[in-house]
Structure formats: C-alpha cells, structure tokens
Amino acid sequence: MLKLPPMSLYIHIPWCIQKCPYCDFNSHALKGDIPHQKYVEHLLADLDADLPLIDGRKINSIFIGGGTPSLLSAEAMSQLLEGVNARLKLAEHAEITMEANPGAVEAERFRHYQQAGVNRISIGVQSFSASKLKKLGRVHGSDEAKQAAILANLLQFRSVNLDLMHGLPDQSHREALDDLHQAIALAPAHISWYQLTIEPNTAFSSRPHTLPDEDVLWAIFQQGQQILQSAGYQQYETSAYAKPGYQCQHNLNYWRFGDYIGIGCGAHGKITRSNGEILRTVKTKHPRGFMQGKYLDQQYNVVVADRPFEFFMNRFRLFEAAPRADFYHLTGLAESSIRSPLDQALAKGYLLETKQHWQITEKGKLFLNSLLELFL
C-alpha cells in the first residue's frame, strides 16, 4: 500500500500586464481589468470540487503563482486565503508563498498581502540591467526591483526569494555576475538563479536572439556557484539556492514526489489515493473557459510503468540524499523493478548508493537528462 505523502496547494493567477517573450507558462496578457472577486469565487468553487480528493488531509504549503499574482487586489487575496482556510486544514506553520512583480504598484500591496496570510514572497527580478529587462519584455526597472526587495525585507516576511536569470541575449560574463552580486547585496534568504532557455511557441523562439556561447555559459555558472556559496547560499536544487533553513518547502514537496492540489487556470495536481492510485489533474487553461465553470480539463491515473520515471524526474532535481525506502512507499513498487537502470546509473558514475540512500553525483548533475533516460 502506498504511503500518503505531505500535501500542498498550488493556486494559479493567469494574468500579466504583457506576455514576456521567453515565457511558456500559462499566462495571458491583460485586456481590461482583472475580474478580481469573480476569479476568486471560481478558484474557491474549483477547490470545492477537489475537496473529496483531499479527504481531510493537512496542507503544509501554499504557492500562489502565475502569471502575475501581485496584480490581484489585496481585498481579493484576503478573500482567497480566507476561503482556503475555511475549507482546508492548514499546518500550524504552513509556508504561503506568492509570486510578485517588482513594479511599484504591486510592491505597495506587500503589507496587505502579508496581513492576508502570505509569509513568503518571490520577486521576479530576472536582471538589474535596463537593456536586458527591455529585451526580456519586463515592465519594471532595476530601481523598482531593489525597492521591492528592500520593502519585503523590512516587512520581515518569513522568507524572500529573488528570481534571477543568466545567459540572456547579448549578455557578457561580467554582466551576468554583476546581476548576481546585486541580488546578493539585497540579502534575500533565497535566490532562484537559472539559465534562460528558449522554449517552443514563445516570441524568442520565433525571433531568435544571440545568446552567450557554451564556454561563456559554463564560466558564468561555475563562478556564480562560487559567489553564491561564498555568500552563504547552499544549492539544494538545480536552480535554487538558500541560506540554511530557508529552502522553499513547497518546491521541496514537489521534488520529493509529494502530493499537491492545483486550482486555477491550467493548474496541475498530483494526489495519492488510499486505494493505491496516483491521480493527476489538469485544469482548464484559458480564463474564458475556466470562468464558465469548466474547471477540470484532464484527470488520469499514473500507470505503474510510468511511476519510476516520474519519481526520479522529481527526486533527482534535489541534491540531498534520497531515502531508498521512499521509492517503495511513494510508488508502491519494489526496488527490484528498477535494479537494472540503477546499476547502469551507478556504473556510469551518476549515482552513489548506500544501504539507506541514493545520492546524485557531480557527474549525475551534469548529465541529468542521461540519468533520467535510464528510467524511461
């Protein structure tokens, strides 16, 4: 019988002021005003429909993502979190994260979001360079980003994350590391530092830009790692760095193959059932359909053959040791079912194995896709 893992809640706010040219998330450029109260009512109705799947289990974290959740009014955010609290049993110290655009209008709302229950803020800085922000289609400036980070620290949120990208169009080695130094100077507890990738069906994919070559990218990554480590940040996931004790609990639950309910446009969910099923849900992507009350787009069981790949695809994003017992408890499968790919991974130097744990190696981090392909 499967062990029921910790459970989280993801809430998707789909609107942005404008669509960034690199973004392949489910976000929609705002045309007119956000239907604040109406959308919250639909979010809570969506949650009501999912309550039987939760079956009274405790929620350990909430993540409000987008889109740009900080476009939602303070009143709507209060209405949303009050509605969630009325329907779900939250852990006593549940982490409640909200993504935020560092524009001045949204930053002024930080205090109200905090009063509504948000205790962790994730600020989408991306770069401190005016020219790079323009190329990325961002609607904020460097000063606004800094002011938002300073305000979040002054308000003493439990944790503040800064999202930062490198490998930007025409970005030099010096410019990339200068962005990182400026982020560290703002003293956030957490930094998400990731390389720009050109995704299909984005504006960047149809209008290619000149990106740094592989040698420059590797130098940026290596020196950036050293800078972050020297500043006291520990890398615990592929692109996540935190001061000790400030890892994102919501994301840790994802990568540990935990459960989560997803509500809102295009939100995904994963729920382990007491009968041994692992259920995945996908909500209607477009706001138009979602706000007609058509919440559920897909619902399906993860077949047994897919469970090893899904488990390791998540687990090996984390650099902590993975308890071997978790594979059985969270997939329902014996370790003997994956002994062959494990042995191959060990032989290739991608993993280390003890009686209790698997640990991804430095080589395994570099060849993560090759490691995961063994479990397909």
Tens digit of pLDDT for each residue in 35-45?
A: 999 999 999 99
Cβ-in-10-Å burial (0-12, 13-18, 19+) of 225 comes to middle
**Tokens 């300073």 sit at which residue?**
150
Element (DSSP H or E) covering residue 273: none
Predicted TM-score of the model (pTM)? 0.95
pLDDT of residue 177: 98
The tens digit of pLDDT for each residue in 267-292 reads 999 999 999 999 999 999 999 999 99
pLDDT of residue 1: 63
Range list for CATH 3.20.20.70 in the chain: 7-253
Residues in the chain, pLDDT under 50: none
The correct answer on CATH 3.20.20.70 for the domain covering 7-253 is: yes
Note whether 333 and 308 are within 8 A (CB). Answer: yes
Note whether 259 and 4 are within 8 A (CB). Answer: yes
Note whether 134 and 110 are within 8 A (CB). Answer: no
Residue 93 three-state SS: strand
Radius of gyration of the chain (CA): 21
Q: Which residues 6+ apart lie within 8 Å of 323 measured at CB?
A: 356, 357
**Tokens 């979040």 sit at which residue?**
152
C-alpha span between 163 and 185 (Å, rounded) = 14
